[in-house]
Structure 1
Amino acid sequence: MEILSSRVLLRSRDPERVTAFYRDVLGLAVYREFPGGTVFFLGQGLLEVSGTSTGQATDATQLWLQVRDLRRAAEDLAEHVVRPARREPWGLDELWVADPDGRPIVLVEVPADHPLRRDVRD
């Protein structure tokens, strides 16, 4: 199997409100819009908000988004924070926010001294 493209699909009880959150609050750039949905650039992936759901969002699905400046993200998203930023045992700095449906979003900053940032080539 050869995967050519992928995206995360979100269904919401209130798609317009969730779309506005990802566009206006998180500031994601729009990749494309179509009747009933919007697809956003999500770093190296895509996030599509389309359709509706009658179920509650749960923490069974979470978004993990790497950001350049976690302190700035915390300031910009203060009203959406569900857990303040802190350094995790695995060495990443994480801030947890939620979208309007309550869906968890983990915002991550990789510290300069973290192994993910070091060049391990000889």
Structure 2
Amino acid sequence: MEVLSSRILLKPRDPERSKKFYADQLGLAIYREFPGGTVFFLGGGFLEIVGQGSGEPSSDVVLWLQVRDLPDTVAELVERGVPITREPRQEPWGLHEAWIADPDGTRIVLVEVPEEHPLRVDTR
């Protein structure tokens, strides 16, 4: 299988509220808009807010967003009124993580990869 592009699709209960959260509070840039949906840049992929969902979000769905500087990112989000659901900490696997949630409760993990972590070290 050859993958040319990818995106995550979320069907929020209130699409306009979610669009404002991702655009205004998280500050994600919009890639494109179309009737019934908005696609945001999400690092190497995309996040599409489309349609309207009717159920509760699953705890099985988590967005993992790598950021350059976790303390600065958390401070910026707090200034924008985003509640931090779990304060930054170093995980046993070596990543620095903080948690937030979108308006529907979808967990968003903010991750900083330390310089010495295997994800950043060339092991060749």
**Alignment TM-score, normalising by the size of structure 2:** 0.92
| Unaligned ranges ≥5, structure 1 | none
Percent identity over the alignment is: 61
State the number of aligned residues: 121
Contact 1:80–1:99 (CA<8 Å) still a contact in 2? Answer: no
Deviations 1:35-73 (A, max 9, x none): 111001100001000100110112110100000010011
Superposed counterparts of 1:41-56, under 5 Å: 41-56=41-56
Provide the C-alpha distance between the structure 2 equivalents of 1:29 and 1:94, rounded to a whole number of angstroms: 22
Shift of 1:2: 2.4
1:120 to 97, 101, 123: 123
Structure 2 gaps of 5+ residues are none
What is aligned with 1:36? 36
Q: Partner of 2:119: helix, strand, or coil?
A: helix
2:101 matched to 1:101?
Answer: no
- Aligned-partner residue type, residue 82 of structure 1: T
Alignment of 1:1-122 (within 5 A): 1-78=1-78, 79-121=82-124
Matches of 1:50 and 1:107 in 2, distance apart?
23
Alpha-carbon deviation of 1:11?
Answer: 0.3
Secondary structure of the 2:85 match is strand
Q: After superposition, what is the alpha-carbon deviation per residue over 1:5-29, rounded to whole angstroms, capped at 9, x for unaligned?
A: 2110000110001011111111111
What do you get for the CA RMSD once the two structures are aligned? Answer: 1.1
